[in-house]
């Protein structure tokens, strides 16, 4: 291979001059006679992709094919992935090579290097996920720790949260993740990402009783702690919409009573009024019809209590008035 195997800053050695590539005929990119916008590729990029096409056409899964995919992700660094780190075809072919060769020992070095270059690269995170699954449960904690490091730098890092979900789901680490998320909410009850992760656990795992009574008490306590927190109200709304929760007799009435208690302490709280209005739209058709007048009153209150979205609430009021006329 080229000298870049050992030193990513070394001058580029053309593949045509490397003895271990002499048996492969490169495949040039087809040239359009009248391209709309011609892409000005560098000589290195043209060569790399010509050999990448050739090695894919030959369906060769070898060490040199693995090296080539590495070259294709960042200019003059290690190879197709060095030139273009978003090239999902190169990433996919690299994974095929790894699986065929059966040697994953050095891949984490490459993954970490690419993460330092492009930490929010979708293809990189997907590659790391497949790599983590292949290594097995013994390395699951390492993956969660890495995701935690990323979240410490950026609490809204979508890739890190998605990676945590994939690892938790694949290895069944539900209780551990619930405990971790609980600590995050103790630190900051407004952490919307933590609420979202908690709902992921609640909705996909089987570690909670069907009635989720404890979970209802938990979110109610967090709402009382911070009544104007949009995240906790959204979480409660999500619980009410879970299939098994919808079947619970008297649940909507119980949550409505709780919401009214919140409104007594914090009058005109938009989040509480919004949930109360949503509850009016749940239940059977007969139950919804009985709530029309109450729902209209709630929307009118929201129009005054939530001036930033007054136009939205005005439209909702008009929609409900039209519905009332239609059912009169």
Catalytic member of 112, 120, 156, 289? 120
What's the pLDDT tens digit per position in 222-270?
A: 999 999 999 999 999 999 999 888 778 889 999 999 999 999 999 989 9
The share of the chain scoring above pLDDT 90, in percent, equals: 59
Distance of CA 175 to the CA centre of its chain: 20
Which pLDDT belongs to residue 77? 36
d(CA 30, CA 314): 58
- 47-57 burial, b if ≥16 CB within 10 A, otherwise e? bbbbbbebbbe
pLDDT at 211: 67
Q: Look at residue 10 in the predicted model and tell me its pLDDT.
A: 59
Q: Could you read off the pLDDT of 155-176 as tens digits, one per residue? A: 999 999 999 999 999 999 999 9
Please check whether residue 246 is in contact with residue 268, taking contact to mean a CB–CB distance below 8 angstroms: no
Asked if residue 313 has pLDDT above 80, the reply is: yes
Is pTM beyond 0.85 here? no
pLDDT in the model for residue 40: 80
Give how far the C-alpha of residue 41 lies from the chain's centroid of Cα atoms, to the nearest Å: 33
Nearest to 280 by CA among 291, 270, 290: 291
For this structure, is 59 an active site residue? no
User: Tens digits of per-residue pLDDT, 3-19?
Assistant: 444 444 457 788 888 98
In this model, does residue 193 exceed pLDDT 50? yes
- Reference 306, options 275, 277, 270; nearest CA is 270
Q: Which residues contact 197 (CB under 8 A, 6 or more apart)?
A: 161, 164, 165, 177, 181, 184
The span from the CA of 104 to the CA of 233, in Å, is 45
- Reduced to 3 DSSP states, what percent helix, strand and coil does the chain have, rounded to the nearest 5? 70, 0, 30
Dist CA 151 CA 99 (whole Å): 30
Taking residues 42-62, report their average pLDDT.
Answer: 90
């Amino acid at each position: 291979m080229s000298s870049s195997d050992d030193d990513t800053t070394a001058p580029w050695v053309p593949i045509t001059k490397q003895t271990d590539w002499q048996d492969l005929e490169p495949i040039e990119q087809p040239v359009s006679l009248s391209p709309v916008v011609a892409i000005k590729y560098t000589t290195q990029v043209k060569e790399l992709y010509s050999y990448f096409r050739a090695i894919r056409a030959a369906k060769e899964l070898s060490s040199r094919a693995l090296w080539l995919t590495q070259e294709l992700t960042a200019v003059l660094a290690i190879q197709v992935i060095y030139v273009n780190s978003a090239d999902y075809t190169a990433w996919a072919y690299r994974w095929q090579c790894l699986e065929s060769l059966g040697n994953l020992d050095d891949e984490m070095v490459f993954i970490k290097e690419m993460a330092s270059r492009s930490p929010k690269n979708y293809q990189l995170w997907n590659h790391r996920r497949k790599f983590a699954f292949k290594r097995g449960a013994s390395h699951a904690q390492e993956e969660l720790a890495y995701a935690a490091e990323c979240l410490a730098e950026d609490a809204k890092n979508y890739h890190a949260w998605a990676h945590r979900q994939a690892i938790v789901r694949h290895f069944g680490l539900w209780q551990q993740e619930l405990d971790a998320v609980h600590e995050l909410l103790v630190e900051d009850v407004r952490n919307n990402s933590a609420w979202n992760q908690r709902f992921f656990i609640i909705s996909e795992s089987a570690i909670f009783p069907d009635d989720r009574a404890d979970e209802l008490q938990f979110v109610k306590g967090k709402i009382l702690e911070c009544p104007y927190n949009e995240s906790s109200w959204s979480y409660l709304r999500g619980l009410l919409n879970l299939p098994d929760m919808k079947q619970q007799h008297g649940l909507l009435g119980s949550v409505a009573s709780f919401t009214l208690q919140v409104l007594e302490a914090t009058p005109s709280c938009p989040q509480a009024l919004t949930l109360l209005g949503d509850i009016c739209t749940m239940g059977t058709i007969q139950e919804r019809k009985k709530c029309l007048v109450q729902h209209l009153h709630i929307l009118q209150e929201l129009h005054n209590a939530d001036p930033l979205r007054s136009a939205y609430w005005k439209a909702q009021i008009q929609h409900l008035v039209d519905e009332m006329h239609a059912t009169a």
